């Protein structure tokens, strides 16, 4: 389990920002609503679930940390991961997720020296 240091929290927030931005572009949802405390429309909730799933499988963040970043309960993250994983049988959806996963894995590592004030959005 990862230690909760200030730098790891900042790094996790930067990763979350990248994931939220990528999902927002791919699914045509404004990024600021994905990190909103409000539930939003079904499209927003779905895109948020995809972002949570990607944070879990690409960056290996714990469900608890993802829940903290999105200001949700960890069971919400568990539900999102289960839901998205079940939908990967659809080849069109799976190819979208593969593209997003590849993009996120190729992104340069987060720089924390000048990013102490990083926020999700």
Rg (CA), the chain: 14
Cα separation, 81 vs 63, in Å, equals 9
Segments making up each domain of the chain, as ranges = 7-106
User: Nearest-CA neighbor of 9 among 81, 50, 52, 68?
Assistant: 68
Tokens of 23: 């999902």
**Max intra-chain CA distance, the chain:** 41
User: Nearest-CA neighbor of 107 among 11, 4, 28?
Assistant: 11
pLDDT for the residue 72: 93
pLDDT at 6 over 60: no
49-59 pLDDT, tens digit per residue, is: 999 999 999 99
Q: Which residue has the higher pLDDT, 41 or 46?
A: 46
The pLDDT of 53-75, averaged and rounded, is 94
Residue 99 to residues 5, 85, 95, 102, Cα–Cα distance (Å): 31, 15, 6, 5
pLDDT at 15 over 70: yes
Cα separation, 87 vs 9, in Å, equals 30
- Show the beta-strand stretches assigned E in the chain: none
The pLDDT of 9-33, averaged and rounded, is 92
Assigned CATH topology for domain 7-106: Chromosomal Replication Initiator Protein Dnaa; Chain: A; (1.10.1750)
pLDDT for the residue 111: 58
């Amino acid at each position: 389990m990862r230690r909760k240091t200030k730098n790891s929290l900042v790094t996790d927030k930067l990763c979350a920002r990248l994931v939220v931005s990528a999902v927002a572009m791919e699914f045509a949802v404004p990024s600021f609503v994905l990190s909103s405390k409000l539930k939003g429309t079904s499209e927003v909730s779905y895109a948020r679930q995809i972002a949570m799933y990607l944070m879990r499988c690409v960056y290996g963040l714990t469900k608890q940390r993802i829940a903290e970043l999105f200001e949700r309960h960890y069971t919400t993250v568990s539900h999102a991961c289960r839901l998205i994983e079940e939908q990967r049988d659809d080849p069109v959806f799976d190819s979208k997720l593969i593209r997003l996963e590849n993009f996120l894995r190729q992104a340069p590592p987060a720089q924390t020296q000048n990013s102490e004030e990083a926020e999700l959005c």
